């Protein structure tokens, strides 16, 4: 059990728009109810790049999407991450690495400290974590491909 306590719990949410505070609050509520460290988000419909901190919970929302002139009226595209308080701290401490590949792909990288036990020694090691979120729209014959990859 102790070995699994160090696992990083990552969830995925296809948002169908994350432009209003209520939707954002729903993601946060589910995140903390399930004890999730990171939620990968797709179809946020937000434009440009955004970093929004929820100071009361210590959570951080990172999103990127199309430029405003490329958006439809309701919005389109957009991916991002919702980070828990501990992951936000780790992400900031390790240089705030966030790569916006496109309005459909983003990469988050951070370093976290993990306790390692052997038969005689307990130590703490640094572990680099890279998470990629990507979204491809539905295709007539193939359906929707949504991925969140932890490496």
Tell me how far apart the alpha carbons of residues 88 and 53 are, in angstroms, rounded to a whole number.
9
Which strands form 97-102's sheet, in the order they lie side by side? 97-102, 105-117, 122-139, 143-150
Q: What is the pLDDT of residue 143?
A: 41
pLDDT along the chain (151 residues), means of 10: 64 83 87 92 84 88 84 76 94 93 91 81 86 76 43 39
3-state SS of 32-93 is HHCCCCEEEEECCCCCCEEEEEECCCCEEEEEECCCHHHCCCCCCCCEEEEECHHHHHHHHH
* pLDDT tens-digit map of 44-74: 888 788 888 988 888 999 999 887 777 666 6
Q: What is the pLDDT of residue 114?
A: 82
pTM tops 0.85: no
């Amino acid at each position: 059990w102790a070995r699994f306590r160090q696992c990083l719990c990552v969830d995925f949410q296809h948002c169908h728009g994350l432009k209003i505070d209520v939707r954002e609050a729903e993601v946060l509520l589910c995140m903390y109810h399930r004890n999730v460290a990171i939620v990968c988000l797709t179809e946020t419909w937000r434009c440009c790049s955004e970093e929004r901190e929820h100071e009361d919970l210590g959570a951080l929302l990172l999103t990127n999407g199309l430029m405003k002139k490329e958006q439809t009226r309701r919005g389109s595209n957009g991916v991002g991450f919702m980070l828990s308080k501990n992951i936000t701290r780790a992400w900031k401490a390790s240089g705030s690495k966030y790569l916006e590949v496109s309005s459909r792909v983003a990469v988050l990288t951070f370093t976290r400290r993990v306790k390692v036990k052997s038969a005689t020694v307990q130590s703490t090691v640094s572990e680099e974590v890279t998470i990629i979120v990507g979204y491809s729209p539905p295709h007539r014959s193939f359906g929707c491909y949504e991925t969140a990859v932890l490496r």
